[in-house]
Amino acid sequence: MMNFNDAMERALAQARAMQKQVAEAVSKTAEQLKPHVEKSLEDARELQATLSKHAEETGELASKQAQVTLGHVNEYIKIGNEALRESADRTRETAAKLVEQSRKVVEAATAAATSKERD
């Protein structure tokens, strides 16, 4: 079993990888965008699995923090799946939403990691 700090460090690293991938996607042409969105969704699903496992294995406060972050990840995946179904031009608009959602994921993961360090 992974301890809390290790789990949160892993989740934070996954969140940052997801954020980096979608930020790179936004700078690409519409045709080049979808592979980056697909990769960011893969990263998001890995983060989702890490957070779900972590929420099951930790105390109530840590579990609540993981659930908040997981909620942002779930929304990110929903938006990303929409982007993959859209036309190339609409995908760029949706990718901008992914950037904002990835910011929320990283902020929530950071808050969860730093609040445990303070405890």
**What kind of architecture, by CATH, is found in domain 4-118?**
Up-down Bundle (1.20)
Taking CA atoms, 52 is separated from 17, 42, 78, 82, 113, in Å, by 18, 15, 17, 23, 15
**pLDDT at position 12 over 70:** yes
- pTM for this one? 0.63
Amino acid at 20: K
Contact of 24 with 98, CB cutoff 8 Å: no
**Residue range 46-79, pLDDT digits in tens:** 888 888 887 777 777 667 877 888 888 888 888 8
Residue ranges per structural domain of the chain:
4-118
**pLDDT at position 103 over 70:** yes
